[in-house]
Amino acid sequence: MASRLNDLLAKKAELEQQIIAIQREERASAIAQVKSLMAQHGLTLADLSARSNPAAPKARSGGKVPAKYRDPATGQAWSGRGLHPKWLKQAIAGGAKITDFLV
């Protein structure tokens, strides 16, 4: 029984070594292909880290949006994005129109 176990463990170790060797070969082959394609198309590493579509506009990065609606009584403002604030909901429920609060 121990002999069979030792044989299987030895085979497992041999297979693991073969797997590592094949992975190294395939990785080296993939790197060679990438380098060849980069040379063929005149690409550099900087090109790979650039945006995928340079013609696309950059997304805005969390800047504040100017107020579109303002409560003249309290001075509270809302940009018009997202859910209506409580003060606007209450005003509309009281009969006001949203256009009454346009800035």
For 11-41, write each residue's pLDDT tens digit: 999 999 999 999 999 999 999 999 999 999 9
Cβ–Cβ < 8 Å for 88, 98: yes
CA distance 25 to 22: 5
Domain boundaries, the chain: 2-49, 69-101
36 versus 46: which is more confidently predicted?
36
**Record: fold of 69-101:** H-NS DNA Binding Protein (4.10.430)
Query: Does the pLDDT value for residue 58 go beyond 70?
Result: no
| Across 54-63, average pLDDT | 66
| Across 81-100, average pLDDT | 91
CA distance 4 to 49: 52
CA distance 98 to 33: 61
